[in-house]
Every structure is written in structure tokens, then in C-alpha cells.
Structure 1
Amino acid sequence: MKIIGKNSLSQYASYLLILLAILFAIQLVYILIGFAISLYNLKTGSNILEDFFIIGTDVGWSKNEWTMPFDNMMKFKFFVPFTEQNLLTGMFNLGSVLNHIFGSIFITLFFYISYKFLREISRDNVFNAKALLWLKRFGWLNIIYTAITLATIPFATKSIFAATYSVVVFLFFGGLILFVVEFFKKGLELQDQADLTI
């Protein structure tokens, strides 16, 4: 099986990526609704959708040496709809909420832009301007994600080294992709010159 072009691995991988992008977009919407309802419930004392979205000082975390320091802090727990499967949990503060939302936006865009790029290289004309544009966006997405995450680490976590270590790979990945974009540009230029010669 071919890797690029029509009826290739890239074409079938693009189908998987759009499915993942849709699933993560639905999860993002669900998380946004969960945070909005949790904030409303906290401010008003209501219990709207409390089977899906729990907020309070006790959200069912087991008592141990790691969770004891957080006993009196506000926490949240979101379940997968109509199940008791934990989807998301954490501290209910601005830094944590924004971190979860930003991470969900990033992963949704990561899969969507990957889908768009693979779809473009699944065409007869692999070297095309749209493929180059989506690849460039993919590189910049990774670099921007790293920059924003590094800027917010001091506010979101106490372990600056561990958090920095986990996101620097995206900076390297984004930079590497931008080098690939330049290589891709040369391929596009050579193809255009060949077309003009013919």
C-alpha cells in the first residue's frame, strides 16, 4: 500500500484523525458545559446535573498522603455521560480550569490540522500549496502550545521542571515541522518548474 496519494495509508489515516478530532471536540464542549454548570452550582448552591459534574471539597478522592493537603480545597470531578467512569478531575481554580480547557483545545486542533494535512497529501498532486499551508499551521500550533504552556507553568504547578520537560518536546516537534515545510516548499517549486517546462 502507498503511503501518500490516492488510496494510500495517508488517506485512511486521515479518516481516523477526523474521527478523533470530532470526539475531542465533543469532549471539549462537554468540559466547557461541565465547568459552566459547576461554577453555577457553586455560586447558587444548586445541584444541576450533579450525577455528571461533581464540585466540592470532597469529590471522592481517596484519602492518602498525596490528597490530604488538598482536603479543604475546592475540587471537581466530571464523569463520562451516563456512566461512573471518571473523565476529568482536579482542583477547581482558574489555573486548573484554564489548563484543562487549553489542553482540550490543543488536542482537538492537533488532530484536526493533522487530518487536513493528510487529506491534502492523499490527492494526486501531493506537493500542493494547501498541504504546505496545513503543515505550516501544524508546526506553529505546536510552538504556540509550548510557548503558552511555558508561560503559564509558574501559575499552574509547583513542579516547574517536570512540566517544562513534558512540553519542550512539542517545541522541538513544531520546529522540526517548520524545517520540513521549507523542504516541502522546495518540492513544490521543483514541481511548478517541471510543469512549466512541460
Structure 2
Amino acid sequence: MKIIGKNSVSQYISYLLLLLAVLFAIQLIYIMIGFTVSFYNFKTGNNILSDFFIIGTDVGWSKNEWTQQVDHMMKFKFFVPFTEQNVLTGMFNLGSVLNHIFGAIFITLFFYISYKFLKEISKENVFNANALLWLKRFGWLNIIYTAVTLATVPFTTKNIFAVTYSVIIFLFFGALILFIVEFFKKGLELQEQVDLTI
């Protein structure tokens, strides 16, 4: 089986990436609803959808040396609907909420843009302008994610080195992809020259 082109590995992987993008988009919508409902419940004292979205100083975290330090702080816990399976949990403050939403947006776009790129290279004409465009977007997505994450570190965590260590790979990945885009451009130019010659 071919790696790229029609009926190739890239085509089947693109279907998997589309499925993942859809699942993460659903999760993104769910957690945004969760934060909205939780904020409403927090401000009004209501208990709307409290079986799915828990907010309070006690959301069922086990007691240990790390959780005891934040016993008095507001926390949240979101469950998969009609189950006790945890989807997301954390501190209920603006930095944490924005961090979770931004991370969910990033992972959704990560899989969607990957899908679009692999879909483009699954065509007969592998070197095409759309493939180049989606690959470039993928590179910039990784660089922007790193920049925004590092810019928000002072507001979301005290340990800048742990966050930097975990996101710096995306900066490298994005830069590497932008170099690959330039290589891809040369391939596209050569293909156009060959097509014109023929």
C-alpha cells in the first residue's frame, strides 16, 4: 500500500484524524457549556445540571498533601453525561478556565488541520497548493500555541519551567514544519515546470 496518494495510508489516517477532530470538537463544546453553567450556578446559587458539572470547594478530590493546600479554593469537575467518568477537573478561576478552553481549541484544530493536510496529499497530485496551505497553517498553529501558552504562564501557574518544558516541543515542531513547507514549495514549483514543459 502506498504512503501518499489515492487509496494510501495517508488517506485512511486522514479519516481517523477527522474522527478525532470531531470528538474533540464535541468535547470542546461540552466543556464550554460546562464552564458557562458552572459560572451561572456559582453566581446565582442554582444547581442546574449539577449531576454533570460540579463546582465547589469539595468536588471529590482525594485528600493528600497537594489537595490540602487548596481545600478552601473553588474547584470544578465535569463528568461524561449519565456516568461518573471524569472529563475535566481543576481550579475554578479565570486562568484555569481559559487554559482548559484554549487547550481544547488547540487539540481540535491540531487534528482538523492534520486531517486537511493528509486529505490533500491523498490525491493523485500530491504537490498541490492546498496541501502546502494546510501544512503551513499546521506549522503556525504549533508556534502560536507555544507563544500563547508561554505568555499566559505568569497568570496560570507558578512553575514556568514545567510549562516551558512541556510546550517548547511544539515551537520546534512548528518551526520544522515551516522549513518543510519551503521544501514542499520547491516540489510544487518543479511539478508546475514539468507540467508546463509537457
Structure 2 length-normalised TM: 0.99
Residues 58-116 of structure 1, C-alpha deviations (whole Å, 9 max, x = no match): 00001110100100000000001111011100000000000000000000000000000
> 2:72 — aligned with what?
72
SS of the equivalent of 1:19 reads helix
SS of the equivalent of 2:54 reads strand
Measure the CA separation in 2 of the matches of 1:161 and 1:141.
22
Alignment of 1:36-115 (within 5 A): 36-115=36-115
Measure the CA separation in 1 of the matches of 2:178 and 2:61.
43
> 2:117 — aligned with what?
117
List runs of 5+ in structure 2 lacking aligned partners: none
> 1:146 — aligned with what?
146
Q: Greater CA deviation, 135-144 or 150-159? A: 150-159
Query: What is the total number of aligned residue pairs between the two structures?
Result: 198
Cα distance, 1:154 vs structure 2: 1.1
List runs of 5+ in structure 1 lacking aligned partners: none
> 2:194 — aligned with what?
194
> 1:15 — aligned with what?
15
Q: What is the CA RMSD across the aligned residues, in angstroms?
A: 0.4
Measure the CA separation in 2 of the matches of 1:191 and 1:183.
13
Cα distance, 1:143 vs structure 2: 0.2
Letter aligned with residue 143 of structure 2? I
Identity, in percent, stands at 83
Cα distance, 1:123 vs structure 2: 0.2
Moved over 6 A (4+): none
The yes-or-no answer on 1:5 pairing with 2:8 is: no
Measure the CA separation in 1 of the matches of 2:122 and 2:82.
38
SS of the equivalent of 1:153 reads helix
Measure the CA separation in 2 of the matches of 1:142 and 1:82.
35
SS of the equivalent of 1:60 reads coil
Letter aligned with residue 115 of structure 1? Y
Letter aligned with residue 193 of structure 1? Q
Measure the CA separation in 2 of the matches of 1:27 and 1:152.
23
Measure the CA separation in 1 of the matches of 2:64 and 2:12.
46
SS of the equivalent of 1:18 reads helix
Measure the CA separation in 2 of the matches of 1:157 and 1:3.
42
Alignment of 1:19-38 (within 5 A): 19-38=19-38
Letter aligned with residue 175 of structure 2? G
